[in-house]
Chain A
Amino acid sequence: MYVAVKGGERAIENSHAVLAEARRGDAAVPPLTLPQIAGQLGLAVDRVMAEASLYDRELAALAIKQAQGDLVEGAFLLRAYRTTLPRFCASLPVETERMVVERRISATYKDLPGGQVLGPTYDYTHRLLDFSLAAEGDATSAPRADTPLNATMPHVTSLLGAEGLMRPEAPDQEREPADVTRDPPRFPADRSARLQTLARGDEGFVLAMGYSTQRGYGGAHPFAGEIRHGSVAVEIVPEELGFPITIGDIMVTECEMVNQFKGSRTEKPQFTRGYGLVFGHGERKAMGMALVDRALMAAELGEDAVHPAQDHEFVLSHCDNVESSGFVQHLKLPHYVDFQSELELVRRLRAEADLRMAEQQREAAE
């Protein structure tokens, strides 16, 4: 009813109150604590941190709690908080080669320096509901190796690069990396802007775009050269010190896809790299990102860019779920002024069509 949308202040306040009640749920059940969310819903926390592009497990847990577990809403909450934070400095590039690895696999080599490390993965679990988890389970512990992992784990792509088989990476025409949170987008987009946008893009969208390249909409022939997950040090160089210091460690997932490139007039055939890097443990997202990153290189490699995943504007303008969720849902706002003008227009057009038809009938009768 009309009054409902013109409800004003009290309706909004009451709506917030009923939302808070729904969020809390049954008062007889203890409320969730942030350590519970951060500790036991870790992958949800990882996704929210990745899509909000803010690494803070506790705040991400708070966002998830506040959003009743709606992760897209959680990412939005964290992003809105992120905008208010001052910037102190930019870190040095993170050295993923020196990652303290939890998991590292390659699909291109049976064995390689540093070895294959399966780590925690759902890949080989049978997806059978584990009813023992429904009971309040006890803490479990996993066996650990006696010897630490090999500290040197060169990237698979660096092994190929040493042989000249991997296309070397170059900065964007010597330009400083873009900052998509501080610069308006430009097309075609620099690789740095593409990677940043994909890294905070919606997991579902990036995954589907990557998937489309495998199904013929992009002509990809990818190999999962390497996927690694673990912690890396974040270093900054304070001006007054002049040398790098570590300010903390973050968990990231990195994926390097190895793709064919048949070569062009000026370049010999070689492999090219699709790159994915996300906060936390997110292999699905990192792999999707790596596929899309490679697809978006089509134009600069002289390939035909005809598929959606190869189209900078299509992918980068639509992958952000805070933007898309907001704009799709803004349709809930009142549009009765515009609708009224459309109503008037359709009525006028129909009246004119009636006149025209009557005229035709009269002419036919004569």
Chain B
Amino acid sequence: MTPKAAHDPDYNLGYLDEQTKRMIRRALLKAVAIPGYQVPFASREMPLAYGWGTGGMQVTAAVLGPDDVLKVIDQGADDTTNAVSIRRFFARVTGVRTTERTVEATVIQTRHRIPEQALTEGQIIVYQVPQPEPLRKLEPRETETRRMHALADYGLMHVKLYEDIARHGRITLSYDYPVLVNGRYVMAPSPIPSFDNPKMHHSPALQLFGAGREKRIYAIPPYTEVRSLDFEDHPFHPWRASNCCDLCGAADSYLDEVVTDDRGGRMFVCSDTDWCADRREAGHRGRLAGHALATPRADDPA
């Protein structure tokens, strides 16, 4: 964990002004009160490009307090460039402690993954959301999709899933797999692999979603029912590669496939770098243990 520091005096704490943070917190309260409902909010321009996490950053900025410990991941990893960039931004404008360890974090901002380590009460996970509308690919008009949500008119989505099965024998969504929250709203879980969907169900952590460009905030309060859409005779299945991690040997984590040469060489590694490092420290060894990809955490002593 990095130590607490003073924030950059040229900017307000958390970059956003207090009025804006208050506006976002109000939207968050509404979102928590109506799980899965997309609350429009007056998204601000951030010093990062739209599509690169501006919604998640605004939510994080609005909830971070001085005693929080922040973890930022992209693709499950703490050392991907965008995760590094966002973590550095918050270290600069809030001075909060940052960490790569899931268990130490009080706020986790994520893009495309939920950590393997089960989240606990009191933790907040903030998802970066490119497209908050789960029906958008079926209906491009906001006026229409808002009406469909209001009437819980989700027939179009069920027909799409049914057509998948009729054509391909299975539902062909593998990420951003729609869920029904609290039995009411169909919600986009952000582009996490469907493997991660079950982690949202009855999670003890507070789950917040920010879509900056599309100007929407939504939330799942702790211990809320989150069901991946499926059919009785075609139940939802969280798929993963049927390999083990080549670094730590994990057989139940989500894996990245790494191409190692141009002759079909492959290796599989945990996408959650913190999880993988923990397992290696605990003595677990995979097929290629000691490979250069098994980098230590940045805040580990050398």
| Beta-carbon contact of B175 and A341 below 8 Å | yes
Task: Return chain B residues, CB-CB under 8 Å to A5.
Answer: 80-81
Is the CB of B142 closer than 8 A to any CB of chain A? yes
Q: A7-B81, A8-B298, A327-B130 are in contact. Are A333 and B175 (CB under 8 A)?
A: no
| Beta-carbon contact of B195 and A341 below 8 Å | yes
| Beta-carbon contact of A333 and B45 below 8 Å | no
| Beta-carbon contact of B42 and A183 below 8 Å | yes
Task: Return chain A residues, CB-CB under 8 Å to B302.
Answer: none
Is the CB of B255 closer than 8 A to any CB of chain A? yes
Please, what's the 1-or-0 string for B43-68, where 1 marks a CB less than 8 Å from any CB in chain A? 11111011110100000000000000
Is the CB of A151 closer than 8 A to any CB of chain B? no
Which residue of chain B is the closest to A331 with respect to CB atoms? Answer: B51
Closest Cβ of chain A to B133, distance in Å, is: 12
| Beta-carbon contact of A313 and B141 below 8 Å | yes
| Beta-carbon contact of A342 and B45 below 8 Å | no
Q: A79-B45, A184-B40 are in contact. Are A326 and B52 (CB under 8 A)?
A: yes
| Beta-carbon contact of A83 and B46 below 8 Å | yes
Task: Return chain A residues, CB-CB under 8 Å to B257.
Answer: 336, 340, 343
Q: A184-B40, A337-B193, A341-B193 are in contact. Are A12 and B241 (CB under 8 A)?
A: no
| Beta-carbon contact of B45 and A334 below 8 Å | no
Closest Cβ of chain A to B30, distance in Å, is: 12
Which of B82-90, B119-127, B149-157, B276-284 forms contacts with chain A? B82-90
Is the CB of A185 closer than 8 A to any CB of chain B? yes
| Beta-carbon contact of A313 and B84 below 8 Å | no
- Among A7, A184, A343, find the residue whose CB has the most chain B CB atoms closer than 10 A: A184
| Beta-carbon contact of B293 and A2 below 8 Å | yes
From B49, B77, B172, A326 is in contact (CB under 8 Å) with B49
Which residue of chain B is the closest to A188 with respect to CB atoms? Answer: B143
Which residue of chain A is the closest to B76 with respect to CB atoms? Answer: A337
Please, what's the 1-or-0 string for B84-115, where 1 marks a CB less than 8 Å from any CB in chain A? 11001000000000000000000000011100
From B45, B172, B192, A345 is in contact (CB under 8 Å) with B172
Closest Cβ of chain B to A80, distance in Å, is: 4
Task: Give bound CA distance, A229 to B255, whole Å.
Answer: 60
| Beta-carbon contact of B51 and A327 below 8 Å | yes
Task: Return chain A residues, CB-CB under 8 Å to B228.
Answer: none
Task: Give bound CA distance, A345 to B240, whole Å.
Answer: 9
Q: A185-B215, A313-B142, A325-B49 are in contact. Are A333 and B82 (CB under 8 A)?
A: yes
What is the predominant secondary structure among interface residues of chain A facing chain B?
A: helix
Closest Cβ of chain A to B247, distance in Å, is: 13
Task: Return chain A residues, CB-CB under 8 Å to B112.
Answer: 335, 337-338
Task: Give bound CA distance, A35 to B66, whole Å.
Answer: 42
Closest Cβ of chain B to A172, distance in Å, is: 17
Task: Return chain A residues, CB-CB under 8 Å to B169.
Answer: 352
Is the CB of B191 closer than 8 A to any CB of chain A? yes
Task: Return chain B residues, CB-CB under 8 Å to A8.
Answer: 79-81, 84, 298
Q: A182-B42, A330-B51 are in contact. Are A12 and B75 (CB under 8 A)?
A: no
Q: A9-B298, A84-B11, A340-B193 are in contact. Are A187 and B50 (CB under 8 A)?
A: no
Is the CB of B71 closer than 8 A to any CB of chain A? no
Task: Return chain A residues, CB-CB under 8 Å to B162.
Answer: none
Closest Cβ of chain B to A88, distance in Å, is: 13
Which residue of chain B is the closest to A86 with respect to CB atoms? Answer: B17
Is the CB of A344 closer than 8 A to any CB of chain B? yes
Task: Return chain A residues, CB-CB under 8 Å to B195.
Answer: 341
Is the CB of A11 closer than 8 A to any CB of chain B? yes
Is the CB of A56 closer than 8 A to any CB of chain B? no
Task: Give bound CA distance, A313 to B141, whole Å.
Answer: 7
Task: Give bound CA distance, A41 to B249, whole Å.
Answer: 60
Is the CB of B254 closer than 8 A to any CB of chain A? yes
| Beta-carbon contact of B213 and A334 below 8 Å | no
- Give residues of chain B (241-300) contacting chain A, Cβ–Cβ below 8 Å: 241, 254-258, 271, 292-293, 295, 298
Task: Give bound CA distance, A96 to B189, whole Å.
Answer: 49
Task: Give bound CA distance, A338 to B192, whole Å.
Answer: 7
| Beta-carbon contact of A336 and B82 below 8 Å | no
Task: Give bound CA distance, A213 to B5, whole Å.
Answer: 56
| Beta-carbon contact of A82 and B45 below 8 Å | yes
From A183, A186, A337, B113 is in contact (CB under 8 Å) with A337
| Beta-carbon contact of A330 and B49 below 8 Å | yes
Please, what's the 1-or-0 string for B155-179, where 1 marks a CB less than 8 Å from any CB in chain A? 0000000000000111010111000
Q: A12-B85, A327-B50, A329-B49 are in contact. Are A184 and B43 (CB under 8 A)?
A: yes
From A83, A323, A341, A342, B50 is in contact (CB under 8 Å) with A323
Is the CB of B203 closer than 8 A to any CB of chain A? no
Task: Give bound CA distance, A7 to B12, whole Å.
Answer: 30
Task: Return chain B residues, CB-CB under 8 Å to A110.
Answer: none
From B80, B170, B255, B295, A334 is in contact (CB under 8 Å) with B80
Task: Return chain A residues, CB-CB under 8 Å to B292.
Answer: 3
| Beta-carbon contact of A326 and B213 below 8 Å | yes
Task: Return chain A residues, CB-CB under 8 Å to B85.
Answer: 12
Closest Cβ of chain A to B28, distance in Å, is: 14
| Beta-carbon contact of B213 and A349 below 8 Å | no
- Among A342, A345, A349, A352, find the residue whose CB has the most chain B CB atoms closer than 10 A: A345
From B50, B192, B241, B295, A344 is in contact (CB under 8 Å) with B241
Please, what's the 1-or-0 string for A164-201, where 1 marks a CB less than 8 Å from any CB in chain B? 00000000000000000111111110000000000000
Is the CB of B207 closer than 8 A to any CB of chain A? no
Task: Give bound CA distance, A154 to B254, whole Å.
Answer: 69
Give 4 closest A-B pairs by Cβ, nearest first: A330-B51, A326-B50, A326-B49, A184-B40
Show 13 residue pairs from A and B whose CB-CB distance is below 8 angstroms, ordered by the A residue: A184-B42, A334-B74, A336-B75, A337-B112, A337-B113, A340-B193, A340-B241, A340-B255, A340-B257, A341-B194, A342-B174, A342-B175, A345-B174
Residues on B facing A (Cβ under 8 Å): 11-12, 15, 17, 40-47, 49-52, 54, 74-77, 79-82, 84-85, 88, 111-113, 130, 140-143, 168-170, 172, 174-176, 191-195, 213, 215-216, 239-241, 254-258, 271, 292-293, 295, 298
